[in-house]
Amino acid sequence: MLPGSGNAEQIAGRATGTQSLYRKYRPASFDSDDLVGQDHIVGTLRNAIARERVAHAYLFCGPRGTGKTSTARLLAKAVNCLDPDPERRPCNICEACEAINQGRATDIIEIDAASNRGIEDMRELVERVRYAPAQLRTKVYIIDEAHQVTPAAFNAFLKTLEEPPPNTVFILATTDPDKLLDTIASRCQRFDFHRIAPDVMARHIRVVCEREDIQIDDDALDIVVRRSFGGMRDALSLVDQLTTTAGEASNGIITLDLVRGMLGISAEGWEYDLAQALAGRDVPGGLRVINQAVEGGQDMRAFGRRVVDLLRVMMLVRAGADPVEAKGNQRLIELAGRFELPEILAINRHFYDIDYKIRTGGFPQLPIELAFLGALVEQPRGVGYVQPSVQSQPQPEPQPQTRPEGRRQAEPAAGAQPVASERVRPIPNRDRAPEPPLAPPAQSPGDSWSAPARPASARAQHEPSAPLPPPVERTAPDEAPRPALTGPPAAILQTLIAGWECVRTEVRAVDRKVEALMRETDPVEVQGNDLRVVAAYPFHAGKLNDPRIREIMEAAIERVTGARLVVTVVARDEFNPIPPPAAASTMLNETSPVWGAGYGASAPPVSSSNGNGSSYDHGHPLKSTDPVVTFDAPAHGLPDIIQKVKVALDAEEMDPEDAAMFLRGLEDDRQAT
């Protein structure tokens, strides 16, 4: 039965005048053109009615506006219908159906659980259930928004729901079934209502508009359907509102411009322009798009929702999901093809909560601008981002600086392999002059910067030993795995120290909570394939030693350095480095090229006990349990200092790693002076 057909003025008390469309066209039967979009539920309920196998309790759950309460009313009408043919129930003709349609049936009780949720309300219901039906064959209780009933009230209702009196049916409707007690849900037959498909909803709204003599354009109808998110009630309410507006603005016709004006949707397609800027890494262009939307009077929440919706559909297209929203939209499909899947995934992570930030922030456009810039600047290394340069001329060489106390990022020894510069690209230091980009874009002097493109030739030219992922055309084969990190333990450790920020960035792309735990961590020791990391507190060390979290850290280290290391995290106050066998002479020999030939051999032996000279720890003191190695630098000179360090190493009074960093610090000071 079509909506409004037959004795439409009688069905559900439909009156002319100010009655809203969603009430006037509430489903009156189980026909597929009346109760739309829920065929899986209609078929089951019809079979139960025809075979007289109606259950004593039902649970209808699903999104708003999908027909839960309407189906409950239809079921109540069907079980009380007097038509002799069960296939035709409800008939909407018999006395029982007419009484229910007109609201005269006292045995159909609807309860709003939002306002009747307490234990006293439920006790009253239990008392009323005892009485037999007064007018119909079956008494039906419809409890709407059932998830708002308190647990104590449900516990009082539990026995009655499990074993109700004869000729009594309970129907619970809710939008949040997870809040219901398991003991309640297990006593009901559950039916999940789905969001109504866009084509089904559009066809039904078109029928309603034809019966109401409402003219609506196809493009306007498409926007109404998409903004309803699968809820028929929302769609009909929006059409009702647009009909009132159209009578004054556009000669009674619901046009595309009318819908856009009422919903705050721009006709310029700014969300596509912003996605175009993301694909082209055009920072100034994207910011101009946001500014144009603000100056054009665009509602920022509506604009942000459209951007999020577009990015979500592009992510689904790029993942091969073939979403319904992308069918026939060639521009969207082409835009999605310009992104790698990790890249569009990272962008969605920046934009997904933008609606909440706009609603709670002071400047509506600021969250969109931050998300746009963050999506370009803070992308993980795997998507091929290159730090942009603000100016096109070459940058000055960094000047030598005095190293601060507690140095943990000392430069590797001169004799070590240059693995750090080839395999790790650390986050730029705020205290150092910025380095020129790998492939700076060609700009005029007056232009502002834009994020550089990602040509394959430029990457191959500047990074032959560590190629980035293939370009967006995805025609290049997968890159070969990087070789393992090699070299002395000290060089490997310095490589990790220099690239630790890159490791944290990789971890943040996988799990932000793990990255937060790593903010107070430092790599301190490498022994073979074992890496020891210190954390600020034992709590952080315990969390980071979880097998799942350690796997995330080890995978991030491998992506940055190419080496697969086994990570162990200890608290900073519990760290006690253990020197490996014969490490003292090896460490000293590794640092000897810094000082040149002949220094250590010709120096006279010096005692390692406390003397009258000054204590020199250079930011790396010995362990508190070791005797302090002292010297008088002006009196003995650098050869004497080296000899004292060697004596301390031979006596195991000094840690090899501290000795190496101590000597490198002296070399830095010597070069600076």
Q: Is the peptide bond before 90 cis (omega within 30 degrees of 0)?
A: yes
**Res. 631: pLDDT tops 90:** no
CATH number of 198-259: 1.10.8.60
Q: Which fold has domain 37-192?
A: Rossmann fold (3.40.50)
Q: What is the mean pLDDT of the segment spanning 612-627? A: 38
**Res. 539: pLDDT tops 60:** yes
For residue 218, how many other CB atoms are within 10 A of its CB? 9
Prediction pTM value: 0.52
Q: What is the mean pLDDT of the segment spanning 512-521? A: 87
pLDDT per position as a tens digit, 342-399: 999 999 999 988 888 888 888 888 999 999 999 988 764 444 444 444 343 444 554 5
pLDDT per position as a tens digit, 210-231: 998 888 988 889 889 888 888 9
Per-residue pLDDT, 519: 84
Per-residue pLDDT, 427: 39
**DSSP state letters, 286-352:** HHHHHHHHHHTT--HHHHHHHHHHHHHHHHHHHTT---GGGTT-HHHHHHHTTS-HHHHHHHHHHHT
For residue 212, how many other CB atoms are within 10 A of its CB? 15
Higher pLDDT, 187 or 607: 187
Per-residue pLDDT, 638: 59
Single out the residue of 231, 227, 138 nearest to residue 193, CA to CA. Answer: 231
Per-residue pLDDT, 76: 93
Per-residue pLDDT, 567: 92
Strands 57-61, 168-174: parallel, antiparallel or unpaired by DSSP?
parallel
Q: Which fold has domain 270-383?
A: Zinc Finger, Delta Prime; domain 3 (1.20.272)
Residue with tokens 């649970």: 59
**Res. 627: pLDDT tops 90:** no
**Res. 266: pLDDT tops 80:** no
Domains 37-192 and 489-574 share a fold: no
Per-residue pLDDT, 46: 92
Task: Measure the CA–CA gap between 324 and 301, rounded to whole angstroms.
Answer: 24
Per-residue burial over 557-592, b = 16 or more CB atoms within 10 Å of its CB, e = otherwise: bbbbbbbebebebbebeebeeebeeebbebbbebbb
Task: Measure the CA–CA gap between 433 and 397, rounded to whole angstroms.
Answer: 8
Angle at which helices 366-377 and 341-351 cross, to 10° = 150
Mean pLDDT of the chain: 75
Per-residue pLDDT, 594: 35
Per-residue pLDDT, 633: 42
Task: Measure the CA–CA gap between 128 and 237, rounded to whole angstroms.
Answer: 36
User: Of 12-21, 377-386, 391-400, 510-519, where does mean pLDDT reach its minimum?
Assistant: 391-400
Higher pLDDT, 431 or 132: 132
Higher pLDDT, 76 or 594: 76
What residue spans define the domains of the chain?
37-192, 198-259, 270-383, 489-574, 583-672
Pick the CATH number of 489-574 from 3.30.300.180, 3.30.70.20, 3.10.20.30, 3.30.70.920: 3.30.300.180
Per-residue pLDDT, 248: 60
Per-residue pLDDT, 14: 44
Q: What is the mean pLDDT of the segment spanning 119-145? A: 91
Per-residue pLDDT, 673: 61
pLDDT per position as a tens digit, 434-464: 444 444 444 444 444 444 444 443 333 434 4
**Res. 48: pLDDT tops 90:** yes
Q: Taking the mean position of all CA atoms in its chain, how far away is CA 503?
A: 20
